[in-house]
Amino acid sequence: MNTALLQQLSGVAVVAVWLAVVVAMALLVRRRWPDQREWSRKVVHIGTGPVVLLAWWFGISRWVALPAALLITLATALNHRFRLLPAVEDVNRHSYGTIAYGASIAVLLALFWPAQPLPVAAGVLVMAVGDGLAGLIGPQLQSPRWRLFGQGKSLAGTLAMALGASGVLTLLAWAAQPGGLQAPALPNLLLIALIATALEQCSSYGIDNLTVPITTAWLWQAWA
């Protein structure tokens, strides 16, 4: 077995194990806090993000990563329909967010992978971390609240999204420097974070899971 194939297989195995651990954690959270349906969903939401970094680290090829993303998107669509894993989908609102999340990752892989991994990482991680923190922190803290397109929003959740997005983008830009990879300047990074936060406000049916990653990745690539 040649080295390249072994690296691909190792990467796929690590990603599979990581996703299995994330799902197991979501199931444990659902069992421990059955009344907090959003928590288990956000465990999956946040935990999926680092998969992109693992794929980058192991050099997983486009022809492995893209079909895998499409299969996962199909699996989330089936789970949405049949509720095979309620911990991922069982929330008190009508949302196609998990399907859109998988679809956005597939789109980013098709557009940028593997030549430009940073836009993919930026788009996925801003959504995973920023939106994930917003969903966890916003409902728990007392802060001004409003409704936009039928979706409840809060100042605490919005700030969590903005800070999470800014932190992720800044860390990615810092990580790009040793390898000589191109990244936007700090003012542009903060502007991308603000735009992502604004898009997250428009989250009817989970559409932000599509608009935030794709817009973030496109702006990163355009301004790098």
| Cβ pair 105, 212 in contact under 8 A | no
Per-residue model confidence (pLDDT) at position 87: 63
Peptide bond into 139 cis (omega under 30): no
Contact between 119 and 221 (Cβ < 8 Å): yes
Question: Domain ranges in the chain?
Answer: 3-223
The pLDDT value recorded for residue 81 is 80
> If the chain, 224 residues long, is cut into consecutive pieces of 10 residues, what is the mean pLDDT of each piece?
85 95 93 87 93 95 95 91 71 76 96 96 97 93 91 95 98 92 96 98 91 98 96
Residue with tokens 């599979």: 16
Report the DSSP beta bridge partners of residue 145.
154
The torsion angles phi and psi of 88, rounded to 5 degrees, stand at -90, -30
User: In 3-state terms, what secondary structure has residue 83?
Assistant: coil
Specify whether the backbone of 53 is left (phi greater than 0), alpha (psi in -120 to 50) or beta: alpha
